[in-house]
Structure 1
Amino acid sequence: MIEFDDVTLTYPDGASRVTAVDSVSLTVEPGTVTCLTGPSGSGKSSLLALAATLIRPDSGRVAIAGSDATRMSGAQASELRRRSIGIVFQQANLIASLTALEQLQVMNELGAPGSRDSRGAATARATHLLEAVGLADQAGRRPHQLSGGQRQRVNVARALMNRPRVLLVDEPTSALDQDRGAQIIEIVLELTASEGTSTLLVTHDAHHFARMDRVLRMVDGVLLAADANSDRNV
């Protein structure tokens, strides 16, 4: 679960500060996708960064999978990210020298105790996820041998490799045409349901809103219902 409780985040701006996230409260339940939209500079990326425990708010509480991230040390937050948070980046950022299968397998090696002993299970998990995103027959291919849509599918599968309880997805369709973008959204929805993750997804593409469990709009750091014509917070 993702929980924001009256969260405010500001950044320095000369002699003053600018508010990026303004008194936001939000809960994303397991097995659901909450879509976040809004103009550039509205605070969407800051909200994702807070959920990823990459930054801390000025005030309020951010809880990830039941753990209060605002009270954690840097090392504790890093361990929480490794254990409980999957991130789908806007660009796939795959490692050029690794095959699709290896892109997932390497996630097992990132600081996990006993990772060497769990390599067999990690390979089985990676194979299962590639099958889930429709790339079982592409497991041995490297990024340059995959299409943009296929690379983004690997990106999604990689984010789920360590069975995270929270999935953060940043503009996953921005570099894809409408059909391939729709396929990626469908994969995120299906895997959110099957894996039981709490998914927060940022997109500007209104074509996908109807498929989401919830759609929210961010304006000047304030979170609004997407169909609201007023400045009603949620």
Structure 2
Amino acid sequence: MITLDDVTLTYPDGDGRVTALDRVGLTGRPGTVTGITGPSGSGKSSLLAVAATLVAPDAGRVVIDGVDAVGLSAAEASRLRRTRIGIMFQQANLLPSLTALEQVQVMNELGEAGSRGRRGAVREQARELLAAVGLAGLEGRRPHQLSGGQRQRVNLARALVNQPAVLLVDEPTSALDSVAGAAVVELIVRLTAERGTATLLVTHDLEHLPQLDEAVQLVDGRVSTPAAA
């Protein structure tokens, strides 16, 4: 589970400060996908950064899998990210020289999964994840040999490799057509339910909201009325 409790975040702005998040309260429950929508500048990116422990809020609590992340040392926050948080970025940013299988293996070795250090087990886990995201048989392809939707599937497999409790997804459909986008969102929803992750998904595509378990809207840094499809 992930809970943001009364979270406020401000940034310097000339002689003053601008409020990016204004007493935000939000809970992502295991096995569910919570959509986060809102106009540009509403605080969506700031919310993900705080949820990922990349930015510390000015006030409030961020509880991830039972751990209050606010106040952790840099090393402790880094370990929490590696072991309990998966991040699916807007752009896949795959390494051009690596195959799909190697992309996932590298992420495993950066984390602290139980199979770390056992080459055969790591490789098998990577194969299983690629199969789970619909890429069985494409393990040997490099990024230029994959479609945009397939690259996002590798991106998802990398985010899940260390069996995170929390999955943070940033605009997964922004570079995809409507069909590929809907398929990727459907996959995220299914794997979230199967793996019991608490998933927060930022999206500007309101047509995907009916696929999600719930949704909220950010307006000027505040949680507003539930988003509507």
Normalising to structure 2: TM-score of the pair?
Answer: 0.96
C-alpha displacement at 1:88, in angstroms? 0.5
C-alpha displacement at 1:74, in angstroms? 0.4
Per-residue Cα deviation, 1:120-169 (whole angstroms, up to 9, x for no partner): 22222211111111101110000011111110110011100010010000
Matched, 1:226 2:226: yes
Q: How has the CA–CA distance of structure 1 residues 164 and 106 changed in structure 2, closer, same or farther, with 3 Å as cutoff?
A: same
Aligned twin of 2:69: 69
Give the match's secondary structure for 2:137.
helix
Q: How has the CA–CA distance of structure 1 residues 205 and 111 changed in structure 2, closer, same or farther, with 3 Å as cutoff?
A: closer
- Equivalents in 1 of 2:88, 2:27: separation in Å? 20
Determine if contact 2:5/2:26 at 8 Å carries over to the other structure.
yes
Aligned twin of 2:142: 142
Determine if contact 1:108/1:119 at 8 Å carries over to the other structure.
no
Matched, 1:27 2:27: yes
Task: Give the alignment's Cα RMSD to 1 decimal.
Answer: 1.4
Aligned twin of 2:112: 112
- Equivalents in 1 of 2:169, 2:116: separation in Å? 29
Matched, 1:13 2:18: no
Instruction: Return 5+ residue gaps in structure 1 as ranges.
Output: 229-234
C-alpha displacement at 1:224, in angstroms? 1.5
Determine if contact 1:215/1:225 at 8 Å carries over to the other structure.
no
Instruction: Return 5+ residue gaps in structure 2 as ranges.
Output: none
Aligned twin of 1:203: 203
Aligned twin of 1:231: none
Q: How has the CA–CA distance of structure 1 residues 217 and 105 changed in structure 2, closer, same or farther, with 3 Å as cutoff?
A: same
Runs (4+) of structure 1 exceeding 6 A deviation are: none
Q: How has the CA–CA distance of structure 1 residues 137 and 187 changed in structure 2, closer, same or farther, with 3 Å as cutoff?
A: same
Aligned twin of 1:83: 83
- Which residue identity does 2:194 align to in structure 1? S
Give the match's secondary structure for 2:7.
strand
- Equivalents in 1 of 2:192, 2:65: separation in Å? 15
- Equivalents in 2 of 1:25, 1:72: separation in Å? 20
Give the match's secondary structure for 2:40.
coil
Aligned twin of 1:101: 101
Aligned twin of 1:171: 171
- Equivalents in 2 of 1:223, 1:111: separation in Å? 33
Aligned twin of 2:184: 184
